[in-house]
Chain A
Amino acid sequence: MRFLVCLKQVPDKDSRYSLDDSSCWIKEQDLTFETNEADLYALEQALRLKERHGGEVVVLSLGDDRVLKCIKHGLAMGADCAIHLRVPGSGWRDAFATARVMAQAIRRRSVDLVFAGVQSEDLAHAQTGTILAHFLGWPHATIVLEVQVDPDFVTIVVKRELEGNLFERCQLSLPSVLTIQSGPNQPRYPTLKGIMQAKRKEIVTLTPEDLGLRDQDLRATGSRLVPGRLFFPAKKKRTVMLEGSDEEMAGALIEKLRKEAKVL
């Protein structure tokens, strides 16, 4: 079986943001980037399926050359090869346009199962994988925790998360697209050997032109959404921020919880 995993590069979770001059995007220079967490869980699922059933794991990332870090990390974790969908620049990206380019690249290969994350940590559209399934004309399932390939290799059974402690088991025919949610299968860390081997693995670079797509198919201008200004949210509550040394803050908190809020 051939598994393909979409890896998106996003700013580090603990990033502190500031806005650029347009106020429509963040200053990226000072940030560090990592692989979207749900995507690492997706890759872990794919690697486990490959270990069990054989086959190949391909990782795919769309972005400028910065995303090569993400691709190399995926290869070091154990993926066999990679596709870099190279598009210029960074900034806000439309899920519709991203999925369209990905579908074009995936259609050209024989892939049995595509994995994406449930949602990206930066833009959080929670859409790309599902729209990708639409473009490919394949079934999909979202918020997936576990995947089992049926013995016939024609169908799979997945466990999905529903709200309020409910879970759904459903069967999908292959090929299909799954969006993966974090869960007990913790993503592995690359080993030293994995990192060494990754250097020899193939990375295919494709541009939208290579795929017969025009620029407007993937930039925001080709989409039906216009991103506007970014801003820091206003607080909903009047939060009392405690000040001083750790000792002073801890003391003040206990005091306030007893005397002011009367909850201790």
Chain B
Amino acid sequence: MEHLTNRIWVLLEHRDGRLKPVSREAVTCAQALAGPLKMSVSLVLLGDHTIEGLTHQVDREYGLEVLAIRTESGAVCTPEIQCEVLRQSIAQEAPYLVLMGHSYQVIDFAPRLAAQLDRAFLSNCLGHEIRDGKLHFIRPVFGGKLHQEMTFLGEPPFIVSIQPGAYSNQILRTEDSPGVVWKDIPPLKQNPGRRVLEIVEEASKKVDLTQASVVVAGGRGLASREKFQLILDLAEVLGASVGASRPPVDGGWLPKEHQIGSSGQTVAPRLYIACGISGAIQHLVGITSSQCIVAINKDPNAPIFNVADYGIVGDVFKVVPLLIELARELRR
């Protein structure tokens, strides 16, 4: 990798012919970096022949250079194939920075890709700063209670993923449209180490929280299935739907359909009341479209308070019964 180009790559993730929102957010990050670093942005799509339509769409939407890497290595790529195709392309084109959204797919292949390139992978960044010409990224640590600034050492390419929701997904179109560069990679042998058997959708649609106008949700702070009843009671008096973070569902306190977050449902209610939920990013991505968020948590530093409109630092077992009582009075 001798001739390092002044390019920032953004790997665009897609499913069923559509871009992931977090991929658009990664483009925003790249565009913010390109000016100060005096670099240009290339949008990179990887897939088989079916990516053509999406490639042209992305070209029209952004007016940025698009690199479409086509390979007929089976519709369902395994991380081995993704790594191999990207490793070859990165070694040839030598971008300075490779940006992507911190998605489940990226978790599955990016660490391995970086290790193959003998580079570090800075995961789940939520901001950046350029100081004295040096690029720093910021990432959440300790359950989001603290943020940490990180810097790369050594030679590019630098590989970075960004947290969903950290950057805007608004399209900033540039006028010069350099067009699409197609790159065909001969089919790779499907690595026998890992083989996809099937992809299935599981959670039943019995509980559709996406349309709920009020959601009362409980987290690990509720402590047990029995005590979780408090959440059901509050939901009942408010005429609300019941939601949960992951631990209550893992613990079998209520069915999986109630889980909200990246592995569960996405809600957009008028009012979302989070009780005993810390506010991990995987939960927050499911609630950010809520009009009004209330958080009740005993820890004043819980990250949920960073996104709440109203906050109560207190014990759910004391505060929620009072709310139930007040809501009952209102109904009378």
Binding site for B on A (CB under 8 A): 11, 13-17, 26, 92, 94-96, 99, 118-119, 121-127, 130-131, 133-135, 138-143, 157, 161-173, 176, 182-184, 186, 223-237, 239-242, 246-247, 249-251, 253-254, 256-258, 261, 263-264
Chain B residues, Cβ within 8 Å of A157: 197
| Choice from A163, A171, A173 contacting B103 with Cβ under 8 Å | A163
| Choice from A170, A176, A230 contacting B197 with Cβ under 8 Å | A170
CB within 8 Å for A228 and B136 given contacts A143-B107, A223-B120, A250-B326: yes
Chain B residues, Cβ within 8 Å of A236: 306-307
Chain A residues, Cβ within 8 Å of B200: 166-169
B interface majority secondary structure: mixed
CB within 8 Å for A165 and B201 given contacts A134-B116, A142-B107: yes
A212 to B199, CA, bound (A): 43
Of B192, B264, B305, B309, most A-chain CB atoms within 10 Å:
B309
The answer to whether B107 and A239 have CB atoms under 8 Å apart is no
Chain B residues, Cβ within 8 Å of A119: 107
Contacting residues of chain B (67-119) with chain A, CB-CB under 8 angstroms: 78-80, 103-105, 107-108, 111-112, 114-116, 119
CB within 8 Å for A264 and B271 given contacts A142-B108, A236-B307, A240-B311: yes
CB within 8 Å for A250 and B319 given contacts A124-B140, A139-B193: yes
CB within 8 Å for A167 and B199 given contacts A233-B306, A239-B308, A253-B323: yes
A169 to B145, CA, bound (A): 34
The answer to whether A230 and B115 have CB atoms under 8 Å apart is no
A22 to B294, CA, bound (A): 35
**30 A-B Cβ contacts within 8 A?**
A13-B143, A17-B145, A94-B120, A95-B111, A124-B139, A130-B108, A130-B115, A131-B111, A135-B115, A140-B112, A140-B194, A163-B103, A167-B200, A169-B196, A173-B193, A182-B250, A225-B120, A229-B149, A230-B147, A232-B147, A235-B305, A237-B307, A239-B310, A241-B311, A246-B314, A250-B322, A253-B312, A254-B323, A254-B326, A257-B271
In the complex, which residue of chain A has the Cβ closest to the Cβ of B246?
A182
In the complex, which residue of chain A has the Cβ closest to the Cβ of B303?
A233
| Choice from B116, B154, B309 contacting A240 with Cβ under 8 Å | B309
A15 to B116, CA, bound (A): 36
The answer to whether A264 and B238 have CB atoms under 8 Å apart is yes
CB within 8 Å for A246 and B319 given contacts A130-B112, A133-B112, A135-B115: yes
Q: Which 3 A-B pairs have the closest CB atoms?
A: A139-B193, A228-B149, A250-B322
Of A16, A119, A142, A223, most B-chain CB atoms within 10 Å:
A142
B4 at the binding interface (Cβ < 8 Å):
no
Q: Besides A17-B145, A139-B80, 5 other CB < 8 A contacts?
A: A15-B142, A134-B116, A169-B196, A225-B120, A253-B312
Chain A residues, Cβ within 8 Å of B214: 263
| Choice from B103, B148, B191, B192 contacting A229 with Cβ under 8 Å | B148
Chain B residues, Cβ within 8 Å of A166: 199-202
The answer to whether B122 and A225 have CB atoms under 8 Å apart is yes
The answer to whether A163 and B104 have CB atoms under 8 Å apart is yes
Of A162, A171, A229, most B-chain CB atoms within 10 Å:
A162
The answer to whether A247 and B153 have CB atoms under 8 Å apart is no
Chain A residues, Cβ within 8 Å of B143: 13, 121-122
In the complex, which residue of chain B has the Cβ closest to the Cβ of A224?
B120
The answer to whether B152 and A224 have CB atoms under 8 Å apart is yes
A184 to B122, CA, bound (A): 30
In the complex, which residue of chain A has the Cβ closest to the Cβ of B238?
A264
A81 to B313, CA, bound (A): 43
Chain A residues, Cβ within 8 Å of B322: 246-247, 250-251
Contacting residues of chain B (136-171) with chain A, CB-CB under 8 angstroms: 136, 139-154
The answer to whether A223 and B199 have CB atoms under 8 Å apart is no
B167 vs chain A, min Cβ distance (A):
13
Interface string of B123-140 (1 = CB under 8 A from A): 110000000000010011
The answer to whether B270 and A17 have CB atoms under 8 Å apart is no
A237 to B331, CA, bound (A): 31
A186 to B194, CA, bound (A): 27
Interface string of B197-218 (1 = CB under 8 A from A): 1111111000000000010000
CB within 8 Å for A26 and B146 given contacts A123-B141, A124-B141, A264-B238: yes
CB within 8 Å for A139 and B299 given contacts A131-B112, A171-B197, A257-B271: no
The answer to whether A183 and B250 have CB atoms under 8 Å apart is yes
The answer to whether B123 and A235 have CB atoms under 8 Å apart is no
Chain A residues, Cβ within 8 Å of B115: 96, 99, 130-131, 134-135
In the complex, which residue of chain A has the Cβ closest to the Cβ of B301?
A16
B98 vs chain A, min Cβ distance (A):
14
B318 at the binding interface (Cβ < 8 Å):
yes
B77 vs chain A, min Cβ distance (A):
12
A223 to B121, CA, bound (A): 11
A96 to B119, CA, bound (A): 9
B263 at the binding interface (Cβ < 8 Å):
yes
Chain A residues, Cβ within 8 Å of B312: 241-242, 249-250, 253
